[in-house]
Amino acid sequence: MDSLREIKTKIESVTSTKKITNAMQMVYGAKFKNSEAKAKAFLPYMEKMQEVIASVASGAEIDNPILKGREVKRTGYIVITSDRGLAGAYNSNVLRAVSKQIEEAHSGPDDYGIIVLGRIGSEYLKRRNFTIFEEFLGISDQPVYDDIKELASHSVQMYMDGLFDELYVYYTHYVNPVKQEVTVNKLLPLTDISDKSNKSGAYEFEPSEEEILEILLPQYAESLIYGELLDGKTSEHAARTAAMRNATDNAGELINTLTLSYNRARQAGITQEITEIVGGAAALE
């Protein structure tokens, strides 16, 4: 059994750790609430933009590569991870999913390319020799559109230029504070956009539908990436808050266990001292 001093040192160490994890839990909890509010506020904009584009696209025969599929020679993957750990399985789940898809669907490195967000994902994919086209590190915990405009526009342009023939986004979708799900969305081409048209809406277009869509479709695809990043950031903060809460709870349980051991050891020491005193007194009689 450890000495009283050793147990007391462990209690002090775990208590300090508990204070740190509890403080981190509060910090990430505040970030989570901000991210959740921002993601919810972005949804009405996306839904209305989707409705307008669907109405424009359904009104005429539009020859735009963003709306039409083509023979797939190379698939692109946008993978959203974090720059830091301490987020439970947030990063490992999405990286495991995209790794499995690539290994099962592609026969070689020329069949796909990855655009990865976050240091954790970048390091993981590089260690396993996956084909990375672009990497974006250091994205803010509360990103604004300007933070990912370059990434979004470049990703869409790579599809427009034929570098990719289809583009998917892998990220962690926020369900609730204790549940986040790995999600795969097909970003490009937008082959199902006309299905989301609001038939009851009436729009008059000036200039032509083709000219409008040439501007709106890339912006819409870029906005989808931003919306998924907001969703992923909300999941990241929720996962990290939960991880810090679990760490704080575990530290509390460990402190209780160590305190019990300390009290037992102290009682045993007192009992031993009393026994020695009584024994010494008896020897003097």
Q: Which residues of the chain have pLDDT under 50?
A: 200
Distances (CA, A) of 76 to 27, 175, 208: 35, 26, 31
- Assign residue 86 a region: left if phi > 0, alpha if psi is -120 to 50, beta otherwise? left
Cα–Cα distances in Å, from 132 out to 116, 119, 125? Answer: 7, 13, 8
| Distance from C-alpha of 230 to C-alpha of 80, rounded to nearest angstrom | 10
Map out the domains of the chain with their CATH numbers: 26-242 (3.40.1380.10)
Which pTM does this prediction carry? 0.85
Q: What is the pLDDT of residue 265?
A: 81
Are the CB atoms for 172 and 93 separated by under 8 Å? yes
Question: What is the predicted pLDDT for the residue at 2?
Answer: 66
Smallest CA-to-CA distance from 180 within 48, 82, 83 is with: 82
166-183 pLDDT tens trace: 999 999 999 998 899 999
Nearest-10 Cα torsion for 41, 189, 133, 72: 160
